[in-house]
Structure 1
Amino acid sequence: MKKLFKFLGVILLLLIGALAIYYFTNNESLPQGKKGKEADELAQKMLIAIDHENFKNTEILEWTFTGNHSYKWHKQENIVEVSWDKNKVILHLKNPKKSIVFVENQKIYNKKLVQKATDFFNNDSFWLIAPHKIFDKGSVRSIVNHNGKDALLLTYTSGGSTPGDSYLWILNKNYFPTSYKMWTSIIPIGGVSATWNDWKKTESGIKLPTKHTLSLFGMKINMGDVKAYNDEANILATKVLKAINHQAYQKTKFIEWGFRQKRFFKWDKKQHIVDVSWDSIRVNLQPNNMEKSTIFIHENLQKNPDKTIVEKAEAIFNNDSFWLVAPHKLYDDGVIRTIQKIENKDALHVKYTTGASTPGDSYTWILDENYVPKSFKMYVPSMNMVDLEATWEDWITTESGALLPKNHIVAGKTILSMGDVKGYNQ
């Protein structure tokens, strides 16, 4: 028996020695950084890189932490559903006393479970949205030179469940976070790193991490099926589409119109081929196969079509069709929908992140009592347009049943006529 205890003692000493060696080999001291304006400027660049504006407007986030804790966070309402085991807590973040607890679907009062849900949320949400918290109350920012490049050191002096923790964000050349090093109360070794590079683009326009890998024994943290979306904005967008009979628009085969009596269009929408005419030029434009596009000058087919004319026709079509059918494009790929308040009423803000000629443009739609668009405010960076308003009026129900506008007034003075607008199926 004595030999057994002696053997176990030796094993224990070897284990302690190995842990001590691992600690002194891997433990890093918290770096000292430079606080002030430069650190805040670096932090702002990081926020731009991660689309922080879209995060602020996001309504709902969903994820599961390591397969054990599930969340549905109604961010604008500061309410989150936290589920684990047989427990579910409707957690009111701003007023925990209003929280509701369910155990095996039975409503009970349990203050400890509310606190446990709070601690779970503080930890697990940090692994989802930490980059968006760099200006939280109680955070201190510093610039640290890490491997010859600027890195952002964040120390949280208050808030969450573990104030005093520090994180050194490692950024790529575009200021996007790729990893961080941690100095936290729950990990005894300083400088443990975690990856932030497995990102997913969500419906609300933000990227969220799907997993992390720690340098500590290669531990992995899985974030589950992460989602971020704007439910109220989607409901409002659906009402707009119903008001303008989008279902009929989808089935419409042909659309004709003229833009300011200068440019004229006949669009075979089903095949996505459009005749674009201006001056003495007519281009049979095939956006899905530009090389097949043809050019007519005075109705004479050009044997060697000028590529620049075809490109001009495409740019004209992209601009002029937007003024006709933009409300029907609310669910196009790359469109981010959010709610904005205009004169205390819900307006629909849409941002185009891809497609057309100027991705990055955004528009705030002001609606009438029937959810038909009556105007929008334009934000077009490429043209230095900020808050420029244009009306959408004289809507007609076309032969195909789709609603399309006949006129706009820009900045209260410039009239944009859509000419003789037609939509039909034969």
Structure 2
Amino acid sequence: MKKFFKILGIIVLLLIAFVTIYYFENNEKLPEGKQGKDADALAIKMFNAINHEAFDNTEVLKWSFRGEHFYRWYKQENIVHVSWDHYKVTLHTNEPAKSVVYIDGKNSDDPEIIKQAQAFFNNDSFWLVAPYKIFDSGTERSIVNYNGKDALLITYTSGGSTPGDSYLWILDENHYPTSFKMWTSIIPIGGVSATWSNWKNTKSGIKLPTKHKLSLFGMQLPMGDVKSENIKADSIAKEILKAIKHEAYRKTRFIEWSFGGRRHYKWNKEKHIVDVSWDTIRVNLQPNNIKKSTVFYNDKLQQISDSTIVKKANRFFNNDSFWLVAPHKLFESGIIRSVQKVDGKDALLVKYTTGGSTPGDSYLWLLDENNVPKSYKMYLKNGRMNGTPATWQDWITTESGTLLPTNHSFGKDRILSMGQVKAYN
């Protein structure tokens, strides 16, 4: 027995020695940063890189933490469903007293379970969305020179479960976060790092991490099957498609229109080939195989198509067809849909992240009582329009059965006519 305790004592001493050596070799002091204009400017660059606007508009997030805690967060309502072991809590994050507890499916009024759910949520949601919280109330931002580059130090002076914690965000050349170093009350060693690199693109337009790896003994923190979506926005978009007879549009083979009387179009939508004409020029445009496009001057085919003219025709088509069929394109790839309130009513904000001639543009659709678009406000990436309104009016039911607008107005009595609009099969 004495030999056993002697061996145990040696093991304990070795463990203490190892921990002590590890602590002094790995513990880092909290770096000193400089608060102020430069720190906030760096934070804004990071905020823009991660598309914080899409996060602000996100409706629902789903994830798990280490396969132990499971979440469905209705962010706009400040309600999150938390489950672990045999507990389920409908947590009202702003009003915990409203929360509902279930143990093995039976209702309970145990306040300690609510506190536990709140603590789990505070910790586990931080590992999901921490980059989007750098401007939360109770945060201080400082700029730090780390390995010769600017890094962003965030200190949480209030809020959450552990106020006083600090995180040093390491950014890439595009100001996108790749990792952070932590100085927290629950980890005794300062400067422990965690990766933020295993990102996943989600439906609401934000990226979320699928796992983290810590420098502390190589620990892994899996986040499960992370998802985000805008259920309400998608529902509004579907109502718009129903109102404008999108199913008939989808089956429409041919569309004809003009743009302000300056350009004229005959679009074989089925084959996606379009005749674009203006002045004395006509282009048989093939957007999916642009090199096959042909150019006519005064109805005479050019043996070698002028690539500049073809590109110009393609730009015209992208712009001018948008003014005709944009509401029918709400579910195309590269589009983020979210809801905004305008005069107390739901409006649909549509942002184009890819495709077309100007990715990054946004349009806020306002609807009539039948969910037909009556106008939108334009927010262009180039800054030329910031909330500029334009009507979508004089809709007609075409021969193919779909609805298309024939006029728009904007500015002071400015009318943009779509000419004699036709859609047929």
The TM-score with structure 2 as length reference comes to: 0.98
Q: How many Å apart are 1:372 and its aligned residue? A: 0.4
Distance 1:296 1:187, change over 3 A: same
Matched, 1:172 2:172: yes
Equivalent residue runs for 1:217-296 within 5 Å: 217-296=217-296
The structural deviation recorded for 1:227 is 1.2
The range that moved more, 187-196 or 6-15, is: 6-15
**Partner deviation per Cα, 1:339-390 (whole Å, 9 max, x = no partner):** 1122211111111111000011111111100000111111113261111111
Q: Which residue of 2 aligns with 1:406?
A: 406
**CA shift for structure 1 position 236:** 0.8
- State how 1:316-331 maps to structure 2 within 5 Å: 316-331=316-331
CA distance in 2, matches of 1:227, 1:252: 34
Q: Which amino acid aligns with 2:199?
A: W
Residue type of the alignment partner of 1:331: F
Which residue does 1:358 correspond to in 2?
358
Counterpart residue number, 1:395: 395
SS of the residue 1:97 aligns to: helix
Aligned 8 A contact 1:200 1:210 in 2? yes
Instruction: For 1:1-400, list aligned pairs within 5 A.
Output: 1-382=1-382, 384-400=384-400
Name the amino acid aligned to 2:32: Q
- State the one-letter code of the partner of 1:344: G
Count matched residues. 425
Shift of 1:118: 0.3
Contact 1:390 1:412 in 2 (8 A): no
Mapped to 1, the partners of 2:133 and 2:379 lie a distance apart of 27
Conservation of the 8 A alpha-carbon contact between 1:165 and 1:185 = yes
Secondary structure at the residue paired with 2:382?
helix
1:418 partner amino acid: M
Question: CA–CA distance in 2 between the matches of 1:129 and 1:265?
Answer: 47
* Separation of aligned partners in 2, 1:335 and 1:411: 27
* CA apart distance, 1:137: 1.8
Q: Which amino acid aligns with 2:139?
A: S
Measure, in 1, the Cα distance between the counterparts of 2:208 and 2:24: 34
1:154-202 deviations in Å (ceiling 9; x for gaps): 1112111111111111111211111000011111111000001111111
- Match of 1:288, SS? helix
Q: Using the alignment, how far apart are the partners of 2:85 and 2:7 within structure 1? A: 41
Amino acid of the structure 2 residue aligned with 1:318: N
The CA deviation at 1:81 is 0.5
Give the secondary-structure state (helix, strand or coil) at the position aligned to 1:169: strand
Structure-1 separation of matches of 2:386 and 2:140: 33
Q: Match for 2:5: what amino acid?
A: F
For 2:297 and 2:153, how far apart are their aligned partners in 1?
63
CA drift of 1:287 comes to 0.7
Q: Deviations over 1:225-283 (max 9, x none)?
A: 11111111111111111000111111111111111222111111111111111111111
Q: Deviation of residue 415 (structure 1)?
A: 1.1
3-state SS of 1:289 partner: helix
- Backbone CA RMSD of aligned residues: 1.0
Residues 406 and 421, structure 1, Cα contact 8 Å, conserved in 2: yes
Distance 2:216 2:143 in 1: 25
- Residues 390, 400 of structure 1: alpha-carbon distance in 2 compared, 3 angstrom cutoff: same
In the TM superposition, what is the alpha-carbon distance from 1:412 to its structure 2 partner? 3.9
238-247 or 252-261: which moved more?
Answer: 252-261
Amino acid at match of 1:352: Y
Distance between the aligned counterparts of 2:118 and 2:64, measured in 1?
Answer: 15
Q: Which amino acid aligns with 1:419?
A: G
Partner SS state of residue 287, structure 2:
coil
Given the two structures, how large is their TM-score scaled by the length of structure 1?
0.98
Q: In 2, Cα distance between the equivalents of 1:342 and 1:163? A: 36
Task: Give, in whole Å, the separation in 2 of the partners of 1:233 and 1:224.
Answer: 25
Q: Could you say what secondary structure the match of 2:309 adopts?
A: helix
